[in-house]
Copies of this chain bind each other. A is one copy, B any other.
Amino acid sequence: MAGSGRFFEDFIVGDVIRHATPRTVTVGDVAMYQGLYGDRFVVQSSDAFARRIGYPRSPVSDLITFHVVFGKTVPDVSLNAFANLGYAAGKFLLPVYPGDTLVSTSEVIGVRPTSKGDAGVVWVRTRGVRSDGASVLDYVRWVLVRMQGGRPVQETVVPELPSVVDPSELGAACPRIETSAWDDAEAGSTRRFDDYEVGEKIDHVDGMTVEEAEHQLATRLWQNTAKVHFDGFAQKSSKIGRRLVYGGHVISLARGLSFNGLENAFHVAGINGGRHVAPIHAGDTLYAWSEILDKQPIPGRDDVGALRVRMTGVKDFSTAGFPRTGEDGKDHPNVVLDLDLWLLLPR
Query: Residues on A close to B: CB < 8 A?
Result: 1-4, 18, 20-24, 26-32, 34-42, 45-49, 58, 75, 98-99, 101, 103, 131, 185-189, 202-209, 211-214, 216-221, 223-225, 227, 230-234, 243, 256, 259-261, 263, 283, 285, 316
B99 engages A47 (CB within 8 Å): yes
Q: Which residue of B lies closest to A49 (CB)?
A: B22
- Chain B: minimal CB distance from A324 (Å): 19
* Chain B residues with CB under 8 A of A18: 185-186
Q: Of the candidates B4, B206, B211, which one forms a contact with A225 in the assembled complex, judged by CB atoms under 8 Å apart?
A: B206
**Residues on the B chain within 8 Å of A58, using CB:** 24
A129 and B213 alpha carbons, distance in the complex (Å):
33
A50 to nearest B CB, angstroms? 9
Contact (Cβ within 8 A) B223 A261: no
Q: Provided the pairs A2-B263, A206-B3, A207-B227 are in contact, do residues A20 and B40 lie with their beta carbons within 8 angstroms?
A: yes
Q: Which residues of B contact A259 (CB under 8 A)?
A: 3
B231 touches A206 (CB 8 A): yes
Contact B223 A216 (CB under 8 A): no
In the complex, 19 of the A-B residue pairs with CB atoms within 8 angstroms, ordered by the A residue number, are: A1-B203, A2-B205, A2-B261, A3-B204, A28-B29, A32-B32, A32-B34, A34-B220, A35-B220, A35-B221, A46-B131, A75-B188, A209-B232, A213-B213, A213-B214, A232-B283, A232-B285, A233-B316, A234-B285
- B231 in contact with A285 (CB, 8 Å): yes
Q: Which residues of B contact A28 (CB under 8 A)?
A: 26-32, 34
Q: A40 CA to B74 CA in the complex, in Å?
A: 12
Q: Closest residue to A218 on the B side, CB-wise?
A: B35
CB <8 Å contact, B3 and A24 = no
| 8 further contact pairs, Cβ within 8 A, besides A2-B261, A31-B31, A206-B227 | A2-B263, A3-B259, A26-B30, A26-B31, A35-B221, A48-B131, A209-B243, A214-B217
